Amino acid sequence: MTSLGEPPADPLTGGGASQLSPQPTAAPRRWWQQRGTRIALLAAGAVFFLAVSLWPVVRGLSRMGMAQWWENQALAHEFEGNLKQAIADIDQAIAMAPNDLNYYVARAKLHLEAGDTKASLADFEHVIKANPNHAEAYQGRSRVLQREGRHAEALPDLTKALELSTASDPDPWNNRAYGRALANTELSEGLADIERALKLLRRQQADDLAAAADAALVVASYRGAEAGFLDTRGYLQHLLGNQQQALDDLNRAFELHKDYRKAALDEARKMKANAARMTYLQTHLDHTDAVIVHHRGLVHRALGQEKEADADLRWADELGYNPAAGVE
């Protein structure tokens, strides 16, 4: 950045004023007439004009930076389990960047995590009204409706999110498949959705592995994703009455997630995650296990394997299975 402290040296003399004595008959030059001063004034004027012209941009960049800082604070407080403070942090981010819809999405997710479905729904609907093509907002609103037990009402939002998403993204297909399972409707269509999701996931994994610097980390990450997708397919197979296929999928999902769990915790320790973040990670890993194990318990019960069913359903509850809190 250019300093405005000292005027620039005169390019002819090397000083701020002429080193030659003026002629006796010449009128002395005023300070604003001296060459170095004129250059300094022109430069200062140009900088002032530029600053005035760019101030809205600079101010906007500054506010964006502050908004991002508040978002980082919110994430830290979320990891600590302090959702009230995390929401307050995102409120500050929105105050800094009120037109950035991503902050409303972030706040909606925090409200939902805190169990405030009304506030979460209001934020998601604000985003959809402002941008009817915001895929993540439709996905988020569907989660709110599911939390309230309105599973059939969530399906149009899941379809809209899928239509607005990238064609190669497997997640929207899995989301709609699982939504159909939760609503216990369109189960054959749900099975077609999850098969599509698995196909896209494996294609995505192959692409990422080809470009990966750490192949082991990529493989571990995709094991976690595949576990979730196989849980969806296993639950659909259970609802369709295909219990052995369901059990095979759920057993495989459990093993894949066990591998992912170990890799995720090892990576967190390697990154020296603090105790709060480790607890946060372990809780979310437990919740995924809870859903898989609960579904497997239902399959065991359908197969008449009461001992295994009771053990799995009890274990799922211990791990935190709780539809009212969104763990389903």
Q: Domain of 218: which CATH number?
A: 1.25.40.10
For residues 118 and 210, state if they share a domain: no
| Residue 53: band (very low, low, confident or very high) from pLDDT cuts 50, 70, 90 | low
Domain boundary (134, 165, 196) is at 165
For residues 312 and 183, state if they share a domain: yes
Has residue 35 been placed in a domain?
no
CA neighbor of 296 nearest in space, from 326, 252, 261, 257: 252
Has residue 2 been placed in a domain?
no
What whole-number percentage of the chain has pLDDT above 90? 78
For residues 312 and 220, state if they share a domain: yes
* pLDDT score for 107: 98
For residues 190 and 316, state if they share a domain: yes
Has residue 193 been placed in a domain?
yes
Give the other-Cβ count within 10 Å of 37's Cβ. Answer: 18
Rounded Cα distance, 307 and 268, in Å: 36
User: 300-322: per-residue pLDDT in tens?
Assistant: 999 999 999 999 999 999 999 99
Q: Is the pLDDT of residue 54 over 80?
A: no
Rounded Cα distance, 173 and 57, in Å: 40
What's the total number of domains in the chain?
2
For residues 311 and 181, state if they share a domain: yes
The answer to whether 164 touches 133, Cβ cutoff 8 Å, is yes
For residues 209 and 126, state if they share a domain: no
Tokens (6 digits) for 227: 């576990």
For residues 177 and 282, state if they share a domain: yes
For residues 311 and 325, state if they share a domain: yes
Rounded Cα distance, 102 and 126, in Å: 11
Lowest model confidence (mean pLDDT) among 43-52, 95-104, 155-164, 263-272: 43-52
| Residue 63: band (very low, low, confident or very high) from pLDDT cuts 50, 70, 90 | confident
Has residue 14 been placed in a domain?
no
Has residue 142 been placed in a domain?
yes
Domain boundary (105, 130, 165) is at 165
Domain boundary (165, 195, 224) is at 165
User: 176-202: per-residue pLDDT in tens?
Assistant: 999 999 999 999 999 999 999 999 999
* pLDDT score for 19: 35
Q: Is the pLDDT of residue 48 over 80?
A: no
Give the other-Cβ count within 10 Å of 173's Cβ. Answer: 25
Mean pLDDT of 107-122: 97
For residues 60 and 154, state if they share a domain: yes
Has residue 30 been placed in a domain?
no
For residues 161 and 261, state if they share a domain: no
Q: Is the pLDDT of residue 38 over 60?
A: no
- Domain span at 243: 167-328
For residues 176 and 307, state if they share a domain: yes
Residue 304: CA count within 13 A, CB half-sphere: 0
| Residue 29: band (very low, low, confident or very high) from pLDDT cuts 50, 70, 90 | very low
Q: Give Cα 263 to chain centroid, integer Å.
A: 21
For residues 178 and 305, state if they share a domain: yes
Has residue 18 been placed in a domain?
no
Beta partners for 322? Answer: 327
